[in-house]
Amino acid sequence: MTAQVPSETVTCPFHDGEDQRKSAVASAGGGTVKAAVRTQTFERARAVLRNQSARQAGFMAEQVGKIGSATRQPILFLEGEAHRVQRSATARFFTPKIVTTRYRGLMIRLSDGLVSRFQARKRAKLDDLSLELAVAVAGDIVGLTDSDPDGLARRLDVFFTGNFDPPKNPIKAFARFLHQQYLVLRFYYKDVAPAIRSRRKQRKDDVISHLIDQGYNGREILTECLVYGAAGMATTREFIVMAAWHMLGNDEIRTAFLEGDEGDRIGLLEEILRLEPVVGYIYRRLHEDLPTADGSAQHVRKGDAVAIDVRAANTDAAAFGACPMQVQPGRKVSAKYGNAGLAFGDGEHRCPGAQVALQETCLFLERLMQVPGLKLERAPDLAWNRLVTGYELRNCVIICD
């Protein structure tokens, strides 16, 4: 690997104070949860995420919890011992070893095919390519492999793209509810149900087979598939486009990515992700007071909803050194902070698929960035999804010789 330089001694490649965060403006929209406290520093944000009394408050977690149904909660909304048991049971699908031995070959085949198709056609929407890749990889892990992959990508995309604010007009709100139910049923009968039938006949090494063994019914498996779709497909899709946008707009970043070994490439992708976390805010509700030792931050009171500002945490100079709002290849970060900061969360709900996302992004972009004459014809449209508090990048057009 190339030598890394401590961030304190690095000279900023651009004038001091320049903010290279492409998604910063969009993220000002925040999310759908009203929070009493918003974190500003890395240490404070991590303290909330690691607090044992913290409970999920974002992504409709509290609304789902009020339903009171006998249906089992998806892993995203489980807490405490129930979450630890299920997390431990599914950890085998996301270990570094399994990513390398089982999924790497799939990622390479998919990446080669997508890049070859792009070269043949000379033009493509990068967000379509990234969606196809992310859905295929996550689909294989989850077990959504018994339906048309192109159709699966389209059917999943509608759940994670667009405006999720409820209409004020009750008639429009009811019409949207009916439409959403139709989309859910369509996804179930076209994608989830065929996978369940197949695995009831013969188990495979995937999440759906595991859930069947755990006694989950069709509705519960459907919910888990939607959760894994949001976590493993939608977010990875956006990050691939964001990372490519940085590389195609900055020769230094692109050169550093191509000239390094795989460890360097992963490190650079983590640096971009630190600056551009796909999920900008993580919400937790505290069930005990969380005072500060030095009084420098706002106390969190029992019952408060806290907005963990991932962008603020990830650009905290105390954790990441000089020029924290710029992408710096070779930035050296203490292991206790992590190269990507809180981009994958922290605490018991830290994203288990971090290794998968970084690996598939690395393998795909490694091939794409070497295409002769590769250029960005049209920068992506940038929007903000308030439900998942994440950016959306659409209509990103790339061309080549």
pLDDT tops 70 at residue 2: no
Tokens (6 digits) for 3: 């030598």
- Helices 149-160 and 170-187 meet at what angle, rounded to 10? 150
Domain membership of residue 327 as a residue range: 5-68+75-399
pLDDT tens profile 291-305? 776 556 677 888 888
Q: Considering only residues 58 and 15, tell me which one the structure prediction assigns the higher pLDDT.
A: 58
What's the pLDDT score for residue 295?
A: 58
Gap between the Cα atoms of 112 and 277, Å rounded: 26
What is the CATH number for 290? 1.10.630.10
Tell me what the pLDDT averaged over the chain comes to: 86
What's the pLDDT score for residue 121?
A: 97
pLDDT tops 80 at residue 254: yes
Q: How confident is the model at residue 60 (pLDDT cuts 50, 70, 90)?
A: low
Percent of the chain predicted with pLDDT > 90:
57
Identity of the amino acid at 70: A
Q: What is the mean pLDDT of residues 24-46?
A: 82
Closest by CA to 313, choosing from 10, 27, 1, is 27
What's the pLDDT score for residue 163?
A: 67
What's the pLDDT score for residue 190?
A: 95
Name 150's Cβ contacts closer than 8 Å, sequence gap at least 6. Answer: 132
pLDDT tops 80 at residue 5: no
Gap between the Cα atoms of 268 and 262, Å rounded: 10
Gap between the Cα atoms of 124 and 379, Å rounded: 12
Number of folded domains in the chain?
1
Tell me the CB-side half-sphere exposure of residue 247, using CA atoms within 13 A. 28
Q: Is the pTM of this model over 0.75?
A: yes
